[in-house]
Amino acid sequence: MAVGITAINEKVKEESLFIEDLLNETRKVIVGQNYLIERLLVGLLANGHILIEGVPGLAKTLSVRVLAGVINTKFQRIQFTPDLLPADIVGTLVYDPKNGGFTTKRGPIFSNIILADEINRSPAKVQSALLEAMQEKQVTIGDQTFKLEEPFLVLATQNPIEQEGTYPLPEAQVDRFMLKLNISYPNKEEELKILKKMAVTSRNLDVTAVVSPEKILKARSVINEIYMDEKIEKYIVDIVFATREPANYGLKDLDGLIEYGASPRASINLALAARAYAFLQRRGYVTPQDVKSIGPDVLRHRVIPSYEAEAEEKTSEDIVKRIFDEIEVP
């Protein structure tokens, strides 16, 4: 087994060399936001969609645009507004009076990296237009179904739901996102750098594409080979089950605070994201710390607090943190 892990380690180190080029190019534009950039890479490598939440002005949209720019692939930005229609995303059938038939007009979803900007500014019927594309990697227009090109990734930004003019995403939609990231303000030092770099009338936000889609797909195949011990697999399952049956894990005080726990999709995504996180660390094996590092991003949107939890001002973030603090690490 040790020989096998050594071989995987060498393979990961070789195949992850492009990560440094990608980060260097990204940092030409983005100041700070290391957490956001790292998690965007985890989603890209683990083939998982990402939901990014934060107040306006934190470079959420810019970070996604820059990431798309450093990969030589197709990119589309969709600005979600209250008057947006599902056909504006997936496309529609257009009547051709010359031959009396219909032709298919494809929407912006037919791309590789999709920026769904301010996704919660549109009603549920528009948000749900992404469901088939995100889960099945296909789009149905009329009676025709079209496969989407790989890699296909939806990176959605949303404003905090307390803000005016927002529509909370349905649970089924939220669960399709592998990660949900909560972005906070930069520190003083970072904000000073941002001010010096961006407080000019003409900004150079151009980046060079340094990674091909083929390189991303090859990295994904290597990530599938990263070793995960059975103890860590059981640790992941214990974490997820603790969101459903907290009393069985010595967390009786959480019993009435969770309305719905995480689904099996959470277990799958946590394992995939942990492997991708290990790849970013240039390792061919997953450690418990990888699971703990990426776990809150996988679970925070999948644990639904009860009314009792809201009355006690307990958030899903608090619940997930407590579970990771209490469940024994292998």
What is residue 165's predicted lDDT score, i.e. its pLDDT? 62
What is residue 225's predicted lDDT score, i.e. its pLDDT? 92
- Decide: 115 and 77 in contact? Cβ < 8 Å: yes
Q: What is the DSSP letter of 120?
A: G
**Rounded Cα distance, 37 and 42, in Å:** 9
- Decide: 124 and 118 in contact? Cβ < 8 Å: no
pLDDT greater than 60 at residue 162: no
Better pLDDT: 327 or 4? 327
pLDDT greater than 60 at residue 3: no
CB-count burial class (<10 Å; 0-12, 13-18, 19+) for 304: middle
What is residue 232's predicted lDDT score, i.e. its pLDDT? 95
Most confidently modeled of 11-25, 57-71, 229-243?
229-243
- Nearest C-alpha neighbor of 126 from the set 160, 156, 96: 156
Q: Which two tokens stand for residue 31?
A: 């100041």
Better pLDDT: 132 or 90? 90
What's the whole-number mean pLDDT along residues 80-102? 84
What is residue 203's predicted lDDT score, i.e. its pLDDT? 66
Better pLDDT: 262 or 200? 262
Amino acid at 19: I
What is residue 46's predicted lDDT score, i.e. its pLDDT? 93
SS3 (DSSP) at 153:
strand
pLDDT greater than 90 at residue 194: no
What's the whole-number mean pLDDT along residues 45-64? 85
Model confidence pTM above 0.95: no
pLDDT band at 179 (very low <50, low <70, confident <90, very high): very high
What is residue 150's predicted lDDT score, i.e. its pLDDT? 86
pLDDT greater than 60 at residue 1: no
Angle at 312 between CA 307 and CA 315, to 5 degrees: 75
pLDDT greater than 80 at residue 216: yes
What is residue 50's predicted lDDT score, i.e. its pLDDT? 93
pLDDT mean across residues, the chain: 86
- Nearest C-alpha neighbor of 69 from the set 61, 57, 79: 61
Please write the tens of the pLDDT for every residue from 92-146.
Answer: 888 888 887 788 888 899 989 999 888 888 887 787 778 888 888 888 888 888 8
Look at the chain and count its residues: 330
Most confidently modeled of 32-36, 169-173, 240-244?
240-244
In order of start, what are the domains of the chain with their CATH numbers? 31-200 (3.40.50.300), 224-326 (1.10.8.80)
pLDDT greater than 80 at residue 197: no
**Rounded Cα distance, 9 and 64, in Å:** 29
Better pLDDT: 274 or 134? 274
